[in-house]
Chains A and B, each alone.
Chain A
Amino acid sequence: MAIELPDNVMVSKLDQLASWCRKNSLWPMPFATACCGIELMATGASRHDLARFGAEVFRFSPRQCDLMIVAGRVVMKMLPVLQRIWQQMHEPKWCISMGACASTGGVFDTYAVVQGIDRFIPVDMYVPGCPPRPEQLIQAIIDLQDKIQNEGTILGQEFDMASRQQPKRALVELPVLGQSPTFVRPPLEVRR
C-alpha cells in the first residue's frame, strides 16, 4: 500500500538530489589563455548569455569554483600554474577542455605546447573547434550537467572509476633537462 504524501513532497535518492543541486550551480573558473578565451567572453556577454543555463557565475578565484574551463593552448611554462590552480579547487570539480589546442595541442605541434592537457590533469568534457563557437561551449556545459546528473553520487564515487583516474593516453615522450624521469606514477591508493 502506497504511503499518502502531500502534494508538495517528493521522494528522491540523496545522490540524485545532490547531483541536481550541483549541476545547476556550476561556478566556472575561466582559465582563458588564448583565442578561445575571446569566445568564452562572447559566451558570457550579451548575445549568447550563459546565464540562461545556470553557469554564469565566473569567479577568478579557484577556491570558489567547481568547473574549470581551460580555453586556449597550455604551454610548458603555464602547465605548473594550471596544475596548481586545479589543485586549489575543491572537490567535487569538473574540467572542460575548450578548443583543439587545450584538447590535443591543435595546430601547435611545437616544442613548447603541451599536446593535450588531459595528459596532466583529468578532463571531463572536450569541446572541438578552433575556436569553438559559443553555442558549442553552451552545449558542452549542458552535456556536463547531464553527466553530473546521471553519474553523480554524493560521495563522489564516480571519480574513482579507472578511466577517470588515469591520464587518457600513452605518455610516449621522454623527459630531458637533466632530470630523472618524472613520469613514474605513484602507486594507486584506494580512497576511503
Chain B
Amino acid sequence: MPLTIASAESAHQDERDYLWTLNFGPQHPATHTTLRLVLKLDGERVVDAVPDIGYLHSGFEKIGEHLDYNQYVTVTDRMNYISPMANNVAWHGAVEQLMGIELTRRCQYIRVIISELARISDHLLCVGAMGLDTGAFTFFLYGFYQRERIYDIFESLCGARFTNSYTRVGGVMHDMTPLTIQKIRDFLHDFPKTLDDMERLLNRNRIFVDRTKDVGVLTRDEAIQRCTSGPIARASGVTRDLRKDEPYLAYADFDFRVCCAQAGDCFARYYVRMAEMHESLKILQQAIENLPAGPVNVGIDERAHLPDKSQVYQTIEGTITHFEMVMNNRGIKVPSDEAYGAVEAPNGELGFYVVGDGSDVAYRARCRPPSFIHFATFPHLIRGHTLSDVVAVLGSLNIIAAELDR
C-alpha cells in the first residue's frame, strides 16, 4: 500500500522548488503512538502540515453495536488508555442518562474519586511526555513514579493496573475497601510534595519556557471556532468546564476552581494542566473525607445492576432479578431512544451519543473524542514555527492515538 496522501500535493498550489517535504511518523518516538504528519518545510520553518490519521483505527464504534452495555466498558478502557477510569465513567454516565437512572450518593462520590485520580494520572503523563520531548527526562520519571502509585490504587480497587473496567450500569464493580481509601490517603499525603518538585523543575526552567512560550498559539475565538474543549480551550481563555457548568455526579458538592489561562500557547496548556492537578487534589481530599455510607449500587427495582449477593441468596426478588439480569433475552431494559452524556475528561469533553433499541446492546455508540477534535487544530498551530516546535505542540495537545482513531 503506498504511503501517500491523496491530495497533499494538489492542496497547495503555491509550492515552490525550495520547499521540501518531511514525513513524520507514523512510527516516531515523539508521536507517542501512531500518527503521521506530512510537513512542508522552508529550511527549518514549517510552512504547512498535513496530518494523516487512522493508523490505529480499530472500529470501536462498530464493536459497540455488538457488545452489551456492560461489556462495552472494557473497550472504552482502551480508548484513552492513560486515563481509562474517565472513559468508564463517561460511557456509563451516557447509558444511565439514556435509561434515566439516578445513582446512589456513595457511587457518585466513588466515581468522582476515580475520575480525579484518572485526571491526575493523565495530566502527569501529558506534561511528563511534553517535558521528555523538550529534553527534561527527570521530570518524566518523577511523573511516571507517581503514576505507578495511582496504578497501585486502581489495582487494589479492581485488580487491574490501568485497563480497569470498573464501572457498571447503575453502579460500580464492587465497593471501595478501607485499604484502597488508605492508599488514596497516602497518595494525597505524598503527592503534593512531588508536584511542587515538578513545578520547581520546569515552571521557570529557561530551556523549557523558551521552547514553549508563544509557540502554537490558539486564540480564544479560534478555540471556539475549532470546537476545542477541556484544558486546550481553558488555556485559551474559554472558561467552560462541565464540572462547574453542568455539574454531573457529585461535583456540585465540592469546592474547586476552574483553571484558565489567557495566552493559549504551549506553556499555558502545560500550566493549566499543572494547576488542574492541584484542584483535583482538593476535590479528592474533600471526597475522601466526606465519602457517604450506604449502598453503592442502585436498588433491584431499577433492573440495571446485578443485585447484592446477600439479596440473591436470601430474598426471592433478589433471586428473580439476578436471573433476569443474566438471561439472554431479558437483561437490562433500555428505552428505544437516544441520549448524549458527557463528562469533563482530562483531555476535554468526552461524550457518548447512545442510541438504544430496547435490547441490551446499543444500536449506536458514538464517542465524541476530544483528541480527534484537538488534533484537527494542529496544522493551524504549527504553521510558521520551526521543526523542533512540532514535538512541543504535539506534547501540549496530548494526542492519544487510540482515542484519536478509535
Contact = CB atoms under 8 A, between A and B. Distances in A.
Interface in B46-83: 54-59, 62-63, 74-75, 77-78, 81-82
A78 B34 contact: yes
A35 B78 contact: yes
A30 to B, nearest CB: 8
A44 to B, nearest CB: 9
Interface string B130-168: 000000000011001101100100000000011100000
A35 B55 contact: no
Given A110-B62, A112-B59, A42 B78 contact: no
A85 B144 contact: no
Contacts of A37: 33
A34 B81 contact: yes
B59 A111 contact: yes
A108 B401 contact: no
Contacts of B145: 45-47
**Main SS at interface, chain B:** loop
Contacts of B62: 110-111
Interface residues of B, number: 35
Contacts of A34: 33, 56, 78, 81, 401-402
A42 B402 contact: no
A75 B56 contact: yes
B26 A107 contact: no
Given A34-B402, A133-B161, A78 B56 contact: yes
Given A35-B81, A37-B33, A45-B144, A112 B58 contact: yes
A111 B58 CA distance: 8
Contact of A38 (B3, B54, B81): B81
Interface string A79-98: 01100010000000000000
Given A34-B401, A110-B58, A60 B141 contact: no
Given A73-B58, A110-B59, A81 B28 contact: no
A31 B27 contact: yes
Nearest to B77: A35
Which of A45, A72, A77 lies at the interface centre, i.e. has the most chain B CB atoms within 10 A of its CB?
Answer: A77
Contacts of A47: 145, 148
Interface residues of A, number: 32
A16 interface: no
A38 B82 contact: yes
B63 A110 contact: yes
Contact of A81 (B26, B57, B140, B141): B26
Given A34-B401, A42-B148, A108-B63, A75 B57 contact: yes
B55 A113 contact: no
B29 interface: yes
Contacts of A128: none
Contacts of B6: none
Given A41-B144, A46-B141, A60-B29, A80 B82 contact: no
A188 B255 CA distance: 70
A81 B54 CA distance: 13
The secondary-structure label for the interface of chain A is loop
Nearest to B149: A47
B54 A77 contact: yes
Contacts of B293: none
A21 interface: no
B75 A112 contact: no
Contacts of A41: 144
Contacts of B57: 75, 77, 112
Interface string A32-58: 111101110110011100000000000
Contacts of B125: 38
Given A31-B27, A38-B162, A80-B3, A46 B144 contact: yes
Given A35-B163, A41-B144, A60-B29, A75 B55 contact: yes
B11 interface: no
Contacts of A116: none
Interface of B: 1, 3, 26-29, 33-34, 54-59, 62-63, 74-75, 77-78, 81-82, 125, 140-141, 144-145, 147-148, 151, 161-163, 401-402
10 contacts: A42-B144, A42-B147, A60-B28, A72-B56, A73-B58, A78-B26, A81-B3, A81-B55, A107-B63, A112-B59
Interface of A: 31-35, 37-39, 41-42, 45-47, 60, 72-73, 75, 77-78, 80-81, 85, 107-113, 130-131, 133
Closest 4 CB pairs of A and B: A110-B59, A35-B81, A45-B144, A60-B29
Given A38-B81, A131-B162, 16 more contacts: A32-B33, A33-B33, A33-B401, A38-B82, A45-B144, A45-B145, A46-B148, A75-B56, A77-B55, A78-B26, A78-B55, A78-B56, A110-B58, A112-B58, A113-B58, A113-B59
